[in-house]
Amino acid sequence: MFDLNTYLHSSCQRVFPILVNMKHAGQTISQKIKESGISISHVAKHLKVQRATLYNLFEREVWPAHRLRVIEALLHMDLSDLYPKEPLHPDNPFFLTPEQAQTLLKEREEFRRLYLEAMDQLNFYKANPQN
């Protein structure tokens, strides 16, 4: 039987290879905070978020630059390996380079195509349960 979740998970790994090469900002920052000995509550206060929100941020592979800057100042360390220093545009919170932005746009279109293909297959199996 067709499993949509398995299909989308394997497709997502194929479609978003750029994310595989990027450092996971949330995991890296979480580790740096633990090493520093600073409490999660203190970090959340400086980020002006709830502790639960901070834990959710730890799950994210990419962080907005304004949050990275606060963490850098709080921990007194350079986190430049988590984002390029030259932004594409001041409104670009993820500091994507033009090449990364173009790649992500292409990958988004490929993911959309794969999603529509999966939905077509799902609808086919719903319409023909004997298959």
Tell me the CATH number of domain 4-127, given options 1.20.1250, 2.40.128, 1.10.260, 1.10.3720: 1.10.260
- Helices 40-47 and 51-58, packing angle to 10 deg: 90
Distances (CA, A) of 123 to 7, 40, 126: 15, 46, 5
Q: What is the per-residue pLDDT for 22?
A: 55
3-state secondary structure of 95: coil
3-state secondary structure of 3: coil
Does pLDDT of 63 surpass 90? no
Does pLDDT of 64 surpass 90? no
Give every CB contact of residue 4 below 8 A, 6+ residues apart in sequence.
118, 122
| pTM score, whole prediction | 0.49
Banded pLDDT at 93 (limits 50, 70, 90): low
